[in-house]
Amino acid sequence: MSTAMLRQELQLLRREGLAPWALIALTLLLVAAALNGRALLGVQARTAAALEAEAAETTLALAAQAGRGVATAISPGVVGYSVLNKPVVLPAAPLGALAIGQAELLPAWYPVTARGPHHFLARNEPDNPLRLAVGNFDAAFVIVWLLPLVVIALSFNVVSAERERGVLALALAAGSSPAGFILGKVAARALLLFVSLWLALLAAALAAGVPLGRAAGALPLLLWFTGATLYAAFWFALALFVNSRPRASDQNAGLLAGAWLVLVVLLPALTHLAATTVFAAPSRVALTTELREASESADRAAAAARDQYFFDHPEMQGGDPDRSAYFRSVAESELSVATAMAPLLAQFEVQARRQQGLVEVLQFLSPGTMTWQSLTALAGSDGARHREFRGQTLAFHERWSAFFREPLLSGATLTPVAYAALPRFEFDEPPLVSTLPRVLPALAALLVLSLLLGAVSVRRLRRFPVV
């Protein structure tokens, strides 16, 4: 396509007025969505920071009391199983604000104590059920749902309008080929959209606080640019494919709108339904219910142990604040419940991975699903990052429990030095390379689909009737 033709086509789009307003709207929506995502993650971050500050203040107070020999502060049973909890926090991913995904449905922190993991795994924060049902307004939503509509608005009549106005016949009379003339018009629209999309995504990344100066932020964002570009290219190729038959403009618009409904709305919904039906894992609600029942069972067992302890030691009723024998029975009860819950947690994990695996296969039925899976995977909100967080939390819980269980069983007490040696948690971020197997196949599939549709369209356009 010549520079003169490109300039002429851009001037035509500017005079029509639709393209500039559509691209401005896309930019504003992406920036607004990024700000919304940043605000949502900001609420989580402030909550987690407040919890960490409260836990640190409690730890300092207990250490000071232990230095004075206060019984409740030197007792590993009282501190570990009753007083102190450690908020284990999942930090926001570098691109987390661009795609909330499942991040708001899964806990961003766990209150770990020496008691069994069923206590903190059962934590379930209430939220607005309508928002959880329809999802969040974020940049990934704008790209997957709204970007195709912008492409359709720019290209649904790229051939039919020229044919209806007689411009195509004049271009052919001037020596242009049908394919070359139409591809030039599509290329001009695609170039305009891609440049606008890249600038809009850059503005959205800045609004979302993505650390562009670090590889952890810049490299995933580069793949985000690639995914959004390939997704837009697919819709341009599909629009060209629809336009490669001699139809009226309203018919092209109807076909492309139907394709958007099927590929962006219906097929992703059916993919999710198929995954949850074929691999009917213990749902998160069912898991939470089971964990809460186990927690209540443990509480009842602890109450029974306490009653038995005070029955055998009536002189300790309301007297000994240490109650080491009681807390040793609690520790044994917690271990037994954790052992009983292990198969359910393993079953949930296996079935969740099977569901994710089926979704990763079925995603190739829909470009919308492929793009959504890729964007959320790069943003760390597709569930895989949280599974890693949960695994690291369970490993930390083992260390935290052992820290209090060992002195409790040996009869030792806590000292200020022991408080300074409390186990610390720092999330080990999975490397980007571990995400690529979930992203690159989808991006490759989008590229192949776009090229195939484009090749078929060019072949049809070579024989396109001009009247």
pLDDT tens column, 112-134: 998 888 778 765 444 443 343 34
Kind and range of the H or E run holding 69: none
Please indicate whether residue 135 or residue 437 has the higher confidence score (pLDDT): 437
Cα(363)–Cα(370) distance, integer angstroms: 5
∠ CA(430), CA(432), CA(435), 5° rounding?
85
Amino acid at 207: A
Distance CA 131, CA 128 (A): 5
The mean-pLDDT minimum among 71-85, 241-255, 318-332, 383-397 falls in 318-332
Amino acid at position 260, single letter: W
For 109, the 3-state DSSP assignment is strand
The pair phi, psi for residue 348, each rounded to 5°, is -60, -45
Mean pLDDT of the chain: 82
pLDDT at 286: 60
Taking the CA atoms of residue 109, residue 114, residue 116 and residue 117 in that order, the dihedral angle to the nearest 10 degrees is 20
Whether residue 286 contacts residue 41, with contact meaning beta carbons closer than 8 Å, is answered with no
Confidence of residue 462 (pLDDT cuts 50, 70, 90): confident
Region 53-73: mean pLDDT is 93
| pTM for this model (two decimals) | 0.83
The domain limits of the chain are 1-253+366-467
Question: Does the CA dihedral 360-365-368-370 come out positive or negative?
Answer: positive
Contact in structure between 464 and 171 (CB atoms under 8 Å): no
DSSP state of 112: E
Between CA 151 and CA 147 the distance in angstroms is 6
Residue 68 has pLDDT above 90, yes or no: yes
Among 60-64, 133-137, 292-296, the minimum mean pLDDT is found in 133-137
